[in-house]
Structure 1
Amino acid sequence: MSELSQLKFPAIYSQLAKDFIDTITEGSAINFSIAKGLELLNIPVNILQDPDARLDGDQICLLLTLGHMLAKKDTPFSLQIVQHFKEDTLGMLGLAIINADDAEQALMLFQKYTELFIPGFDFSMNYSDRYLDIEILPLANFKKIEASFIELIFCAFDFYAKRSGLDTQAEYFFCHDATGYETQLERQFQCLVHSLSPINKIRIPRSALAQKVKNPNSSMQTFYIAQLDIEKTKYEQQSNIAFQARRIMHHQAKQGRFLNRDQLADLLSCSHRTLTRKLKSEGISFQGLLDEVRFSMAKQMLYQSSKSTKQIANHVGISNSTVFCRAFKKWSGKTPSDYRASINDS
């Protein structure tokens, strides 16, 4: 996985932190200001005035840790943060979503541009006859703040759906244990919440995708998308090679295509040798990336299907099931059958 420090987050996170801290400390005995907080975290105070500024992942981690320290203890931290969400909390993406034509278009915008505002995660759409599962896979090592990030992503999804006038009838599945405050989350989301799921995901009925947005504005949406395309190009040029490679390999694998080194280098517009050198400089190898992708897909299939070990091995690009079982145990510490049994018992 990518290191958290390699990710770049927009300055809107520090503005959100400012709004949260101002509210928490207003009328209290706590003598604290966002300027003091940013100084303690070694973040330039003028970052709030710079729309192009980016915070690295370590700074975001410190901001979230500070927020947890100051937050009220009787309400989930994520639900305290969501009270400060605005239509532009996700910048141009948020504005494009609420000006979309329908739920499906809004969702496609979220998937296409969300890495600009929520880097370090892959959002994959898995359709069945009745449902759409939006699966959220961390591509970086978020450590102790991963649970907070997942909850904030779910809060953002819920916020923009409601602001768009949509009733998505969603269900939320958390990998972490939220049993102590599931009732509060369900009250906020007005739907079911599940803890300790093997995969973080949002489930909505496929029929919900046809819902119309309350007040669409196609001309404004065209403007926002044009700006997002510019930002996306700039972001991709500045992203580290391992993170770009990881995202490409995950997307290709979902389509049944497992890239070799040369194919990945072509998609990244560099030579085989340059790719190897850059990955090594970031502490990872091509084989390491390929193993990550295979492990992630194998876990999902063991959870979501009753396919045999041999079928799953073939699906993740390993023709010999014995080799696959040996590799899976190396990745997880369990055989595929033991892993599936542990999921069914949870």
Structure 2
Amino acid sequence: MEIRIERAKTLKPKPDQNHLGFGKYYTDHMFEIDWDKDQGGWHDARIIPYAPLQIDPATMVLHYAQETFEGLKAYRNPQGEVQLFRPEMNARRMQNSNKRLCMPYLSEEDFVEAVSKLVEVEQDWIPTAPETSLYIRPFMFASEPGVGVHPAVSYKFIIILTPVGNYYPEGVAPVKIWIEDEYVRAVKGGTGFTKCGGNYAGSLKAQEKAEEHGYTQVLWLDGNEKKYVEEVGSMNIMFLINDTVVTAPTEGTVLPGVTRDSMLTILRDWGYNVEERKLPVTELMEAARTGALKEAWGTGTAAVISPVGELYFKGEECVINDFKTGPLTQKLYDTLTGIQWGRLPDKFGWIKVLK
């Protein structure tokens, strides 16, 4: 893919690496490419100065929500090299999201090239303070102006970058989880497995309710029976029940997380029993009551791991591991971040070092 580069004439000051927060600052440049049916598909790949978008009020994404996105990170390893973590998985997942929403998609090769080139241009923005990285947000939306329900004939694919610290201000510390039994996130045949904005917009009502009761995140049940545990609002979730790690299967209603897949691979490599199965919420709460639930943690690119210290379901509160980060949760976090930041060897071939 031929990428035109237009450098910004004025560069932004870099933020304090020790107070980055998450998604508050944006780099000097962004990647952009257009897709138009009457022009034969993708054209005009460019890296340009970061700037507001100009769109028509009738732009179809604003009315019919044809939109998808991804999230991954770039890291600076101890040798000063820039590296990405499994970007090809994000490329494939975005392809699947776009297929479901009747949108065109970049090839895996072009997706990874676009990400790599933009990160190379903006590598001075990659923070080096502990637990920091450069978050990469590729997204795509229907750019055709028109009021009529049909797949658009034009789209924009854009990548923006933001230097980040911990997703949660408290860092890797246990959170309280509200198990939602009124609203649902996804049903079979829907868009639960995609990364589309509508999934997240539909989750906000339950998130608001959970926060009103003092809980950080929502744990969703299946949309058909409200019986089986699926995922947390912004993460997949795993449970150590006795000596077995249990997590929901990715069968169309659960996002196939890159961090999820990585942790399952590591756990199996360590010899843990791992079950990807439907877990009834009644079984989960019984395990929490009896102490069989040893640890629980959420997994995702933004937070990496978020230990769960308490579950709430229908008036019952169950504390997990004395509201402390468990040893397996900590070991997983240390191992995965060690690979991502280049502090540990990458025996799985997950790291792409940029030239």
TM-score, structure 2 normalization: 0.25
TM-score, structure 1 normalization: 0.25
Higher fraction of helix: 1
Higher fraction of strand: 2
Asked which structure has the greater RCO (Cα within 8 Å, sep 6+), the reply is: 2
